[in-house]
A and B are shown apart, each in its own frame.
Chain A
Amino acid sequence: MTSYLSLRNKLLETRAIRKLFRALGIDSQQYRLLLDLFRTLGSRQEFMGTKLNLNKAVGFYFALSLLISLAVFARLPLQVYLLITLGYNMLLLFLVVVQDASNSLLNPAESSVLAHQPILGSTYVAAKLTHIFVLVAAFVFALNLAPAVAGLYLSGTRWYYPFSHLMAAFLAGLFIAFLVCSLCGWLFLFVAPAKLKNAAIWMQLIAFLAPVFLFRLVRFSLEERALAGVTAKAIGSSWMPWRWFVALGLLGHSRYPEFSAWEAGAGCMMTFVLMALGFRAFQKDYLINASTLVQGSARSTIRSSDWSSLGLFIGRLTGGQSGRGAFSFASIMLRRDWHFRRQIFPFILAVLMSLIGPIIKGAIASPFVQAQGFSLVYLIPQAFGFLSIVACSMVSYTAEPQGASLFIALPVGRLRPLARGVYLSLWIPIVGVPHLFLLVSCTWLWGVKDALLFIFFSLSLVSLYLSLMLLRIEGLPFANPFRVSVVSDMNVIIPIAIVLGAIISGLQWLLFHRVALVFGSAVMLSLLAFVTAHINLGKVESEFAKNLQLLACPPQTILKESE
């Protein structure tokens, strides 16, 4: 690390860099200080943006790239292999960078600390962008090292193929980083500061749809192979960025069929102009704009509807006013907490897409009509199970943990009503309301009997999932600063949950051969859900108690002098 820092400092002292910085209005001393600051904050996990610990993330992506490298055994043409590996690289980076850039540039909480210091917006943005680009470089290397070396196995590759592959991948990575950051700039240009944070969520949602395009890309690539040589039409014209980088990776090898340098050049120019315009938004007044948006929210005044009879019922169900209070607090924060929303929205979108698409196509057959084979309906409880994993994992964290002080002064003797209130605030949107909608649509599709029985089964199963996931709640709702390890844990839990979900869906298919069996198991599941919830609420209660102690008396952390 010391050698990296001294190399970086030497580079910053070169005449060319100093000249460039002067032209761009960047103060090199402050730039260096800010880079050090972002690195320190990242290592101490103050940034939400970097999410995973960098080393862990690099390891994870390297393991993923080993799998992708197996594509060489399919004996694909070189350009198809490059298209798959670089396309995958670009889409994955797009997902990562969108998250990181929106955290760094559209919600820079640190701007409130730095806004009154004499720092030019251009210096601050340059340091921010460098921080993002360093992450991108690390990810690109991890994602491409194995595919670049494995590419030598393909026929027609020369000894220097790994270098041309890596060069194309790095340029593609840089392109993605520039593209996403300039997109943030465009948001700055056209969206009012008060609405920027919401706009960032939408940008991330759109990015989440990117894998859909990945599937299309792979399909096209396979078609391309089948058509043996007819390539250009299937993967878009030379205006498309991924073709530029594939063409670069092919340098010194075979020529990319039907690649037009003129079209690619024009595409590059247009993109460059669009990016430059986006970056202009970050000039000079960026810190002022950023500090305005940190205080902003889409709606500054909100009148809540008065559901007093529901509140009364919730109060009775949870065992007191404190339960009602916890329920309304958590329900409101589930809708309004920026951090929670941006974590859960992509999953909600995925669940909706998996349900709405088949419904529109009329592909959802009743699970009781076995002649129609495996019905997509079996996946519904699992989809809501995923939501419960994410919601329970995220519910304790917020971008504004200072609000947790409200819990410290509470004279709460029993925490059980509080735990029940939080449980209900999750149960209603994840289990209750969706199943009400499903009941209506399933009745319309399959008739009352099938719909009622299926909804009873699904409701019981999802309730059981939620009861189990209560163990993921790690403290009072929306009371703790976001922990990086939550996302790293999710990266392990979600793949396991996908496998388990597939097994359970298969078992459901077997179960649904007999109506009596379905009814019996639904009763069993609902009882199990009740008992599990009862037991796990006790654990939630003790998590709340631990959290209260921690909030009242935070641990002392003493660090040695760095110099």
Chain B
Amino acid sequence: MLKTIEVEGLRFRYHTADVLHDISFCLERGQMVGLLGANGAGKTTTLKILTGILPPGAGRVRINGFSLPEQALEAKRIIGYVPESPGVYESLTALEYLQLIGRLREIEENRLKEKILTLLEIFDIEKQRFSRLATFSKGMRQKVLITAALLHDPPILLLDEPLTGLDVSTSLIFKDLLHALSQEGKTILYSSHILDVVEKMCNRVLIIHQGSLIADDTLDSLKNQNKGGSLEEVFRQLTQAGSTTPTVSRALGAMKL
């Protein structure tokens, strides 16, 4: 199989804190892989490095054979990225924003217009396309960001909590769309801390814990190795999270102080 994402010995530091230690994994064409981890585990940093936004501290990162950060431009051309925080130009309208992204990616004008209108219609925000993004809700902005990531039909999709704020019907559409895209041969790295969603959508899982990759396997294999029933239990065993009962009791106590 063709390797689309190759990461070897990746390290990264923010200021004085070590964020990623020696991470290595490989994704192939047509794979949909879940990237799991607690808050602050290093998922978003990993995605930002793969997208070319952050330079890797050490190690080797290749996207479809393009080495990062040297060939970041080439890599960015074939990546669709949905960031965790919906940063947009608030004074642009949804249409203007998407036109800007499409034109920066050199999509031909007529095709671009058709793509934008169709995707906005699918995500049910077609009527708001002339409204400034400042007036959009979190979910509506997320829909715009997803549309922006899909516009150029990228072979690699890097998704950081893409379902945040989405309504139920759009979530269902988006999940089915991801399945279809994966079957079409696109590589999808899906970062989330919501285990149920990853369990339903991905057949392979990467788990990052405190900056280290502690698991990289198929769901079935992970379940077999850890004698666990659900991904939640596997995650708990691997991250040595233990039982939540004492923590819950402490939280209840703190609330009643």
Contacts and interface: CB of A to CB of B under 8 A. Distances in A.
Asked if A pairs with B, the answer is yes
B135 A555 contact: yes
A382 interface: no
Interface in A101-146: 110, 112-120
A196 B130 CA distance: 37
B131 A558 contact: yes
When A and B form their complex, which 4 residue pairs have the shortest distance between CB atoms, in order from nearest? A44-B91, A118-B76, A46-B91, A557-B132
B135 to A, nearest CB: 5
A117 B76 contact: yes
B257 to A, nearest CB: 15
A374 to B, nearest CB: 50
A54 to B, nearest CB: 16
17 contacts: A30-B104, A44-B91, A45-B91, A115-B52, A117-B76, A118-B77, A285-B55, A288-B54, A288-B69, A291-B54, A556-B131, A557-B131, A557-B132, A559-B93, A559-B96, A560-B130, A562-B96
Given A37-B100, A117-B101, A554-B135, A561 B54 contact: no
Given A30-B104, A285-B69, A116 B79 contact: yes
A118 B101 CA distance: 10
Interface in B67-81: 69, 72-74, 76-77, 79, 81
Q: Which residue of B16, B77, B104 has the most chain A CB atoms within 10 A of its CB atom?
A: B104
Interface string B7-18: 000000011110
A554 B132 CA distance: 11
Interface residues of A, number: 37
Nearest to A32: B103
Interface string B48-62: 000111110000000
A288 B103 contact: no
Contacts of B87: 112-113
A116 B103 contact: no
Nearest to B127: A558
Nearest to B75: A118
A527 interface: no
A40 interface: yes
A194 interface: yes
A154 B133 CA distance: 56
Interface in B99-113: 100-101, 103-106
Interface string A353-380: 0000000000000000000000000000
Given A115-B53, A291-B54, A559 B69 contact: no
A55 interface: no
Contacts of A116: 51-53, 76, 79, 81, 83
Contacts of B132: 557-559
A448 interface: no
A50 to B, nearest CB: 13
Nearest to A291: B53
Interface in A516-563: 554-562
B92 A40 contact: yes
B18 to A, nearest CB: 13
A441 interface: no
A472 to B, nearest CB: 24
A114 B72 CA distance: 13
Interface string A295-306: 110001000000
Nearest to B113: A563
A113 B72 contact: no
Contacts, number: 95
B88 interface: yes
Interface in B16-59: 16-17, 51-55
A485 interface: no
Residue among A110, A116, A291, A481 with the highest chain B CB neighbour number at 10 A: A116
B184 interface: no
Contacts of A30: 104
A254 interface: no
Interface in A295-346: 295-296, 300
A555 B131 CA distance: 11
Interface in A446-487: 481
B112 to A, nearest CB: 12
Nearest to B72: A288
A209 interface: no
Contact of A300 (B14, B52, B74, B100): B14
A119 B105 CA distance: 9
B55 A557 contact: no
Given A112-B87, A292-B54, A300 B15 contact: yes
B105 A46 contact: no
B73 A120 contact: yes
A383 B210 CA distance: 52
Given A116-B51, A117-B101, A120-B73, A559 B130 contact: yes
Contacts of A559: 93, 96, 130-132
A118 B71 CA distance: 10
A561 B89 contact: no
Contacts of A44: 91-92
Given A113-B88, A116-B79, A288-B54, A556 B15 contact: no
A561 B95 contact: yes
A300 B17 contact: yes
Interface in A251-292: 285, 288, 291-292
Nearest to B16: A300
Contacts of A113: 87-89
A318 B96 CA distance: 47
Interface in A3-45: 29-30, 33, 37, 40-41, 44-45
Contacts of B52: 115-116, 288
B232 interface: no
B104 A33 contact: yes
B38 to A, nearest CB: 19
A65 B209 CA distance: 63
